[in-house]
Structure formats: C-alpha cells, structure tokens
Homo-oligomer: A and B are copies of this chain.
Amino acid sequence: MGNAKSNQIRVAVLGARGRMGVEVCKAVDAAEDLQLVASVDVGDPLSALADAGAQIAVDFTRPDVVMDNVRFCLDHDIAAVVGTSGFDEDRFGTIRGWLQDKPGASVLVAPNFGVGAVLSMHLARQAARFFDSCEVIELHHAGKVDAPSGTAARTASLLAAARAEAGAGPVPDATTQERPGARGTDVDGIRVHSVRMPGLVAHQEVILGTEGEVLTIRHDSMNRASFMPGVLLAVRAVRDRPGLTIGLEPLLGLS
C-alpha cells in the first residue's frame, strides 16, 4: 500500500481477494491520488474499514453480504462504490430509505464498470427507435455460469424500453417451427443469445435492422483490467453525488 499523503483519497476494498477485488487493489495502489487503506475479504471484520479511516469502500463481494456492507458504510460515513451483482428495485428502495436519514451520504451501484460496455448500451438505446427490430448476442469464455450475462439482459431491457417510448410494437418474427431454444431467450420481448467458448473473453453485439439495412454495435472486452478506469472514475466522483447513483452513465456525461 502506497505512502499516505494528505491529499490522497483513503480507499478500502471489500472482496479484496476475489478476481475483481485483486484488480481493484492493484489499480487503487497504482493511482497517485488514491491510497489503499484496507483490504477486506471473507473472515475479516468490517470494523477494519472504520479503523483504517476509509473514506470510500469499493465492494465486489456477493449478493448475500453486500447489503450489510452498504449499511455498515452508511453508518460509518464511508461512501460506497458497489460492483456486486444481485440488485433489484427492492434493494434500491431499501438503500434509498437508509439514505433519507443521511443527506450527505453517497452510494453508487453499477452493474458494469466497463466504459465501453456502458457506452455501447447508451448508443444502442438511442438507435433502437430507428429500426424495426433488434436482438442481442453476447459471447463469453466457457467458465461463465450464468446465461445471459447481466449486461446483455440489461441491454435488452433498455432496448425494449426505448422501443416502447417510441411507440414501437413487438418485433417482427415469423417463426412457427422452432427447435427449443433456437431463438434465444426473451427479455422484455427482445431476443438474447449466449455463446460460451474457450478463447473468448467478454463480447456483446446489439444488432438492429430495418428493411435494407442493419446496424451492429459490438463491444469487445479483452481482459479484466478494462474495468478499472470505470472503477477509479466512480471512486473519484462518488462523494460529489449525494444519494443513490445507479450505473456509470451519469459520470460519463451520458444521461
């Protein structure tokens, strides 16, 4: 951990020994303006955050413990940057409730810290109203346990919402004879297809079509390091955004 300087932001990492946590510790350590003051994982007491004087905690843990972590941060005036999955409207409601009593406190929850991934969702959402139909193909390494990816499911939901807002009806589909699963899974009326393959890392294509033309927005993430610029951006910005921030978009000037 780097030497403390008076103007460095004091950062703690929760889930510090997980695959993402390890990368976050490295990235914080390497950043001039940040200081890694606590690395906490399963078995370590949360009190280590407070003892170390952390100003911000980055959480890449598990759905079953993340809410307790956020609660702890709020109780100890630590801003939280959360990349753990498992959030839904219920959980966001709970956090908003906690924040009512803490006007200056900040929590940022992002399903994806990849700037390119977030940007490609943002672009796809804009494009949706100009095309008759759209589908999502996501391609990941063979070790991934869930299908589709959270990002692909969220992309499909955003596409469906953008279509609804523009008054578009259901996407056209003449399929009458389908071998089970051939047409992928249906997320809010948008088809999503998941490819799993050694050699792939994390890739996603949004395909949009109208008679005579097709637009494809493809994002390729080559390694886990590609998420670190987004994490550091969130760490640096979270305290300027009191309340609950969802997603990286507002920090990128995208919404």
Contact = CB atoms under 8 A, between A and B. Distances in A.
A184 B187 contact: no
Contact of A193 (B142, B177, B195): B195
A175 interface: yes
B198 A225 contact: no
A140 to B, nearest CB: 10
A191 interface: yes
B116 A147 contact: no
A211 B225 contact: yes
A214 B198 CA distance: 8
A175 B252 contact: no
Interface string A206-240: 01111111111111111101100100000000000
What's the dominant secondary structure at chain A's contact region? Answer: mixed
A86 to B, nearest CB: 12
Interface in A163-187: 171-187
A200 interface: yes
A197 B207 contact: yes
A139 interface: yes
Contacts of A65: none
Contacts of A201: 222
A173 B222 CA distance: 20
Contact of A215 (B119, B171, B176): B119
A194 interface: yes
- A-B pairs with lowest CB-CB distance, top 5: A212-B226, A199-B209, A197-B209, A147-B182, A181-B181
Given A123-B123, A142-B174, 8 more contacts: A115-B213, A123-B126, A123-B127, A148-B179, A181-B183, A197-B207, A197-B209, A212-B221
Interface of A: 114-117, 119-120, 123, 126-127, 130-135, 137, 139, 142-148, 153, 171-187, 191-201, 207-223, 225-226, 229, 252
29 contacts: A116-B130, A116-B208, A131-B199, A137-B193, A139-B207, A142-B171, A142-B209, A144-B174, A144-B175, A145-B177, A148-B182, A174-B196, A179-B187, A181-B185, A184-B193, A191-B196, A193-B193, A197-B208, A197-B209, A197-B214, A198-B209, A198-B210, A211-B225, A213-B219, A214-B219, A215-B220, A217-B217, A217-B218, A218-B218
